[in-house]
Chain A
Amino acid sequence: SQQGEEDPQALSIQEGENATMNCSYKTSINNLQWYRQNSGRGLVHLILIRSNEREKHSGRLRVTLDTSKKSSSLLITASRAADTASYFCAETSGSRLTFGEGTQLTVNP
Protein backbone atom coordinates (compact mmCIF):
# COMPACT_ATOMS: atom_id res chain seq x y z
CA SER A 1 0.00 0.00 0.00
CA GLN A 2 1.09 3.55 -0.57
CA GLN A 3 2.52 5.16 2.52
CA GLY A 4 4.20 8.33 1.38
CA GLU A 5 2.47 11.50 0.47
CA GLU A 6 3.86 13.96 -1.99
CA ASP A 7 3.16 17.60 -2.22
CA PRO A 8 2.20 19.18 -4.50
CA GLN A 9 0.45 16.64 -6.71
CA ALA A 10 1.14 18.84 -9.72
CA LEU A 11 3.53 21.71 -10.33
CA SER A 12 3.85 23.91 -13.40
CA ILE A 13 6.77 26.32 -13.76
CA GLN A 14 8.70 28.23 -16.40
CA GLU A 15 12.04 27.09 -17.72
CA GLY A 16 14.84 28.41 -15.57
CA GLU A 17 12.82 28.47 -12.37
CA ASN A 18 13.44 26.16 -9.43
CA ALA A 19 11.05 23.35 -8.53
CA THR A 20 10.57 22.00 -5.03
CA MET A 21 8.72 18.80 -4.25
CA ASN A 22 8.03 17.46 -0.78
CA CYS A 23 7.53 13.96 0.49
CA SER A 24 6.34 12.64 3.82
CA TYR A 25 6.61 9.08 5.04
CA LYS A 26 5.35 7.10 7.99
CA THR A 27 7.82 4.39 8.95
CA SER A 28 11.44 4.26 10.07
CA ILE A 29 13.61 4.13 7.00
CA ASN A 30 16.99 2.81 5.93
CA ASN A 31 17.13 5.35 3.15
CA LEU A 32 14.88 7.36 0.89
CA GLN A 33 15.18 7.41 -2.87
CA TRP A 34 13.88 9.77 -5.52
CA TYR A 35 12.90 8.59 -8.99
CA ARG A 36 11.76 10.27 -12.19
CA GLN A 37 9.31 8.76 -14.64
CA ASN A 38 8.61 10.12 -18.07
CA SER A 39 5.16 9.47 -19.44
CA GLY A 40 4.49 5.75 -19.77
CA ARG A 41 8.09 4.71 -19.19
CA GLY A 42 10.17 3.05 -16.50
CA LEU A 43 11.59 4.81 -13.49
CA VAL A 44 14.98 6.46 -13.52
CA HIS A 45 16.85 6.62 -10.22
CA LEU A 46 17.87 10.16 -9.29
CA ILE A 47 19.35 10.13 -5.82
CA LEU A 48 19.48 8.09 -2.61
CA ILE A 49 19.80 9.70 0.80
CA ARG A 50 20.55 7.56 3.83
CA SER A 51 18.78 7.94 7.15
CA ASN A 52 21.90 9.41 8.77
CA GLU A 53 22.31 12.05 6.05
CA ARG A 54 20.58 15.41 6.04
CA GLU A 55 21.37 16.78 2.61
CA LYS A 56 22.72 15.48 -0.66
CA HIS A 57 23.50 17.05 -4.02
CA SER A 58 23.72 15.65 -7.51
CA GLY A 59 24.13 18.13 -10.36
CA ARG A 60 21.04 20.36 -10.34
CA LEU A 61 19.34 18.20 -7.71
CA ARG A 62 19.35 18.83 -3.98
CA VAL A 63 17.64 16.46 -1.56
CA THR A 64 17.08 17.05 2.12
CA LEU A 65 15.91 14.61 4.75
CA ASP A 66 14.39 15.39 8.14
CA THR A 67 13.90 12.14 10.01
CA SER A 68 12.33 13.90 13.00
CA LYS A 69 9.54 15.15 10.75
CA LYS A 70 9.64 12.08 8.49
CA SER A 71 9.91 14.30 5.46
CA SER A 72 12.15 14.89 2.47
CA SER A 73 12.32 17.47 -0.27
CA LEU A 74 13.71 17.46 -3.79
CA LEU A 75 14.86 20.74 -5.31
CA ILE A 76 15.57 20.98 -9.02
CA THR A 77 17.41 24.18 -9.86
CA ALA A 78 17.40 26.00 -13.20
CA SER A 79 14.71 23.70 -14.59
CA ARG A 80 14.56 22.68 -18.22
CA ALA A 81 11.70 21.52 -20.42
CA ALA A 82 13.30 18.05 -20.37
CA ASP A 83 12.69 17.91 -16.60
CA THR A 84 8.97 17.51 -17.30
CA ALA A 85 8.07 14.19 -15.70
CA SER A 86 6.53 12.57 -12.63
CA TYR A 87 8.76 12.50 -9.57
CA PHE A 88 8.39 9.88 -6.87
CA CYS A 89 9.93 9.47 -3.49
CA ALA A 90 10.30 5.94 -2.21
CA GLU A 91 11.09 4.91 1.32
CA THR A 92 13.18 1.85 1.92
CA SER A 93 12.42 -0.12 5.04
CA GLY A 94 13.55 -3.67 4.69
CA SER A 95 14.01 -4.55 1.07
CA ARG A 96 10.95 -3.17 -0.63
CA LEU A 97 10.43 0.36 -1.90
CA THR A 98 7.21 2.06 -0.85
CA PHE A 99 6.33 4.85 -3.25
CA GLY A 100 4.25 7.94 -2.86
CA GLU A 101 1.74 8.99 -5.49
CA GLY A 102 4.20 11.35 -7.11
CA THR A 103 4.38 14.95 -8.22
CA GLN A 104 3.73 15.75 -11.86
CA LEU A 105 6.15 18.50 -12.87
CA THR A 106 5.60 20.48 -16.04
CA VAL A 107 8.34 22.86 -17.16
CA ASN A 108 7.10 25.27 -19.80
CA PRO A 109 9.62 26.52 -22.37
Chain B
Amino acid sequence: DTGVSQNPRHKITKRGQNVTFRCDPISEHNRLYWYRQTLGQGPEFLTYFQNEAQLEKSRLLSDRFSAERPKGSFSTLEIQRTEQGDSAMYLCASSLAGPDTQYFGPGTRLTVL
Protein backbone atom coordinates (compact mmCIF):
# COMPACT_ATOMS: atom_id res chain seq x y z
CA ASP B 1 0.00 0.00 0.00
CA THR B 2 1.60 3.27 -1.10
CA GLY B 3 -1.00 5.65 0.35
CA VAL B 4 -0.73 7.91 3.39
CA SER B 5 -0.74 5.96 6.64
CA GLN B 6 -1.45 7.15 10.16
CA ASN B 7 -0.93 5.55 13.52
CA PRO B 8 -2.63 4.91 15.79
CA ARG B 9 -6.08 4.85 14.23
CA HIS B 10 -7.74 5.43 17.58
CA LYS B 11 -6.46 6.91 20.82
CA ILE B 12 -8.33 7.27 24.09
CA THR B 13 -6.58 9.27 26.77
CA LYS B 14 -7.33 11.03 30.01
CA ARG B 15 -7.33 14.79 30.28
CA GLY B 16 -3.88 16.13 31.03
CA GLN B 17 -1.97 13.32 29.32
CA ASN B 18 0.31 13.80 26.33
CA VAL B 19 -0.35 12.02 23.05
CA THR B 20 1.67 11.62 19.88
CA PHE B 21 0.44 10.68 16.42
CA ARG B 22 2.48 9.57 13.45
CA CYS B 23 1.95 10.13 9.74
CA ASP B 24 3.80 8.44 6.89
CA PRO B 25 3.20 10.29 3.61
CA ILE B 26 3.38 8.97 0.09
CA SER B 27 7.10 8.43 -0.38
CA GLU B 28 7.86 10.90 -3.17
CA HIS B 29 5.71 13.71 -1.73
CA ASN B 30 7.55 16.78 -0.45
CA ARG B 31 4.63 18.38 1.33
CA LEU B 32 2.89 17.06 4.42
CA TYR B 33 -0.17 18.60 6.06
CA TRP B 34 -2.06 18.17 9.31
CA TYR B 35 -5.77 18.91 9.66
CA ARG B 36 -8.26 18.50 12.47
CA GLN B 37 -11.90 17.55 11.97
CA THR B 38 -14.67 17.66 14.54
CA LEU B 39 -18.03 15.96 14.14
CA GLY B 40 -20.22 17.46 11.45
CA GLN B 41 -17.56 19.88 10.25
CA GLY B 42 -15.07 19.96 7.42
CA PRO B 43 -11.37 19.54 8.19
CA GLU B 44 -9.47 22.59 9.47
CA PHE B 45 -5.87 23.25 8.57
CA LEU B 46 -3.29 23.00 11.37
CA THR B 47 0.16 23.09 9.78
CA TYR B 48 2.25 21.96 6.83
CA PHE B 49 5.81 21.00 5.99
CA GLN B 50 7.88 21.34 2.86
CA ASN B 51 10.42 18.57 3.37
CA GLU B 52 11.59 19.06 6.98
CA ALA B 53 10.72 22.76 7.19
CA GLN B 54 7.48 23.76 8.91
CA LEU B 55 6.29 26.59 6.69
CA GLU B 56 2.90 27.53 8.06
CA LYS B 57 0.97 27.11 11.29
CA SER B 58 -2.67 27.88 11.92
CA ARG B 59 -3.82 29.92 14.88
CA LEU B 60 -5.62 26.71 15.89
CA LEU B 61 -2.22 25.21 16.71
CA SER B 62 -1.87 26.33 20.30
CA ASP B 63 1.38 26.08 22.22
CA ARG B 64 0.29 22.67 23.49
CA PHE B 65 0.59 21.34 19.95
CA SER B 66 3.88 20.62 18.24
CA ALA B 67 4.61 18.97 14.92
CA GLU B 68 7.87 17.72 13.51
CA ARG B 69 9.12 16.17 10.31
CA PRO B 70 12.74 15.54 11.23
CA LYS B 71 14.06 13.88 8.09
CA GLY B 72 11.52 15.14 5.62
CA SER B 73 9.73 11.80 5.58
CA PHE B 74 7.31 10.85 8.39
CA SER B 75 5.83 13.43 10.72
CA THR B 76 4.64 13.43 14.32
CA LEU B 77 2.00 15.58 15.95
CA GLU B 78 2.17 15.86 19.73
CA ILE B 79 -0.49 17.30 21.99
CA GLN B 80 0.60 18.08 25.52
CA ARG B 81 -1.76 18.32 28.50
CA THR B 82 -4.74 17.18 26.46
CA GLU B 83 -8.12 18.81 27.00
CA GLN B 84 -11.58 17.48 26.21
CA GLY B 85 -11.82 20.04 23.41
CA ASP B 86 -8.94 18.29 21.67
CA SER B 87 -11.20 15.33 20.92
CA ALA B 88 -11.35 15.15 17.14
CA MET B 89 -10.15 13.31 14.09
CA TYR B 90 -6.59 14.29 13.17
CA LEU B 91 -5.93 13.93 9.47
CA CYS B 92 -2.64 13.91 7.64
CA ALA B 93 -2.24 14.57 3.93
CA SER B 94 0.63 14.78 1.50
CA SER B 95 1.22 16.25 -1.93
CA LEU B 96 3.97 16.58 -4.48
CA ALA B 97 3.88 20.35 -4.41
CA GLY B 98 1.45 23.10 -3.62
CA PRO B 99 -1.12 23.89 -4.71
CA ASP B 100 -1.73 20.34 -5.79
CA THR B 101 -3.94 17.40 -5.01
CA GLN B 102 -3.60 16.43 -1.37
CA TYR B 103 -3.97 12.76 -0.52
CA PHE B 104 -5.33 12.02 2.91
CA GLY B 105 -4.63 9.25 5.36
CA PRO B 106 -7.36 7.44 7.30
CA GLY B 107 -6.95 9.71 10.32
CA THR B 108 -6.38 9.25 14.04
CA ARG B 109 -9.48 9.60 16.16
CA LEU B 110 -8.62 11.09 19.55
CA THR B 111 -10.98 10.88 22.49
CA VAL B 112 -10.05 12.79 25.63
CA LEU B 113 -11.94 11.66 28.71
Contacts and interface: CB of A to CB of B under 8 A. Distances in A.
Interface string A90-106: 10111111111110000
Nearest to B103: A45
Interface in A60-109: 88, 90, 92-102
B106 A95 contact: no
Interface string B29-62: 0010101000011111100100000011010000
A22 interface: no
Contact of B45 (A43, A88, A98): A98
Q: How large is the interface on A (under 10, 10 to 19, 20 to 34, 35 or more residues)?
A: 20 to 34
A42 B45 contact: no
Interface stretch (B11-19, B68-76, B80-88, B94-102): B94-102
A33 B35 CA distance: 16
Contacts of B4: 42
Given A4-B42, A42-B105, 10 more contacts: A31-B99, A33-B102, A42-B91, A43-B91, A48-B101, A92-B99, A95-B48, A95-B99, A96-B58, A99-B42
Interface of A: 1-2, 4, 30-31, 33, 35, 40-45, 48, 88, 90, 92-102
13 contacts: A2-B44, A31-B99, A41-B106, A42-B91, A42-B105, A45-B101, A90-B42, A94-B98, A95-B31, A95-B98, A96-B45, A97-B35, A100-B42
Interface of B: 4, 31, 33, 35, 40-45, 48, 55-56, 58, 89, 91, 93, 98-99, 101-107, 109
